[in-house]
Amino acid sequence: MKLILSLVMSIVLVLVVALVWSFMPAKLGSTAIELTDVPKAMPPEGMSISALPTGVMKSRAGLAYRGGRFDDERDFAMTAILVRHPKGNLLFDTGFGRNVDEHFKTLPKLMQSTTTYEKAETVASQLQNAGISHREIAGIVLTHAHWDHVSGLDSLPSVPLWVNATEHEFIESGNEHSALAQSLAPHNFHIYQFVDSPYLGFPRSYDVWGDGSIVLVPAEGHTPGSVLVFITLPSGTRYLLLGDLVWQAEGITLPAERPWLVRAMLGEDAERVRQHIRHVAAIHQRFPEIKLLPAHDARAMLELPVLPNSRN
């Protein structure tokens, strides 16, 4: 009996040590990617970008990336981004919706217990106050279909939802992580397709309006059909919307992945995520002028003017 108890205690100790180790600093190695020049873009006059902050979640840096401190409280932004373009205005993600209190209850209990949230004005309300009709939005482009990126769909039922075929399958699959998206998604999906056109080391891309101003690339891992979005404004300013590839900028600047426990709760393909983090870190090192916008980094989101203000 003592032998069995000793064995059990040893196993528990090993598991605890392994769990603690998974939160310790561990930089991801670099990757060799051939990067020449930034692709050309011809953004039209009148194109602009605005942020629509819908609230924040309160959590810790230690849950966002390996090596983050647990005494470092962070505001995790819940911000949608509006890009106005003469060919069609696009909304990237939706932030918190009017029923976010109910949506939050769909999170795993452990995640609910380690974070709190503060609500702000919904995207639908901000658009209305800025005099922008839902009919003026060509589509809502999801970086991915997790609850905090689709919550605002509850107030935008008539706007087409733009996703690639892989993420559409994820939404329709009944997976617990896409259940809210399945319940809120409008019937008018717009399924776009990537083509074999390389973009900054990514073998496939989707040039939304054909002018290089908005280019999507696949970055599967966090969800099966996650995407990154490259945006170029008429001024020449460039942004890279990272979705949830990383939650805070340190995920790229160090670079570092999320701790194992967080990755496990999210059901990520960890190796795919690592590959894309290394890839974006290489882009950032080669082209630091491209401004990184992790979806939940409130510090990075301060770079953008808030609607009704905009940047061209």
pLDDT above 70 coverage of the chain, percent: 92
Mean pLDDT, to the nearest integer, of 149-166?
A: 95
Are 171 and 190 a contacting pair, CB within 8 Å? Answer: no
Query: Token pair for residue 160?
Result: 């087409």
Look at residue 20 in the predicted model and tell me its pLDDT.
55
Look at residue 289 in the predicted model and tell me its pLDDT.
96
Confidence of residue 109 (pLDDT cuts 50, 70, 90): confident
Q: For 181-205, how does the pLDDT look when each residue is reduced to its tens digit (9 = 90+)?
A: 999 877 789 999 999 999 999 999 9
Query: Which residues, including other chains, have CB under 8 Å from residue 236's CB and lie 6 or more apart?
Result: none
Cα separation of 68 and 177, whole Å? 25
How many residues are listed for the chain in this entry?
312
Pairing state between β 238-243 and 291-294: parallel
Look at residue 112 in the predicted model and tell me its pLDDT.
79
Look at residue 153 in the predicted model and tell me its pLDDT.
95
Look at residue 1 in the predicted model and tell me its pLDDT.
63
Cα separation of 308 and 129, whole Å? 8
**Greater model confidence, 111 or 70:** 70
Closest to 244 (Cα-Cα) out of 281, 276, 286: 276
Helix (H) or strand (E) holding 54: strand 48-60
Give SS3 for 218: strand
Are 199 and 212 a contacting pair, CB within 8 Å? Answer: no
* pLDDT above 70 (res 265): yes
Are 46 and 211 a contacting pair, CB within 8 Å? Answer: no
Confidence of residue 32 (pLDDT cuts 50, 70, 90): confident
Domains and CATH numbers, the chain: 45-301 (3.60.15.10)
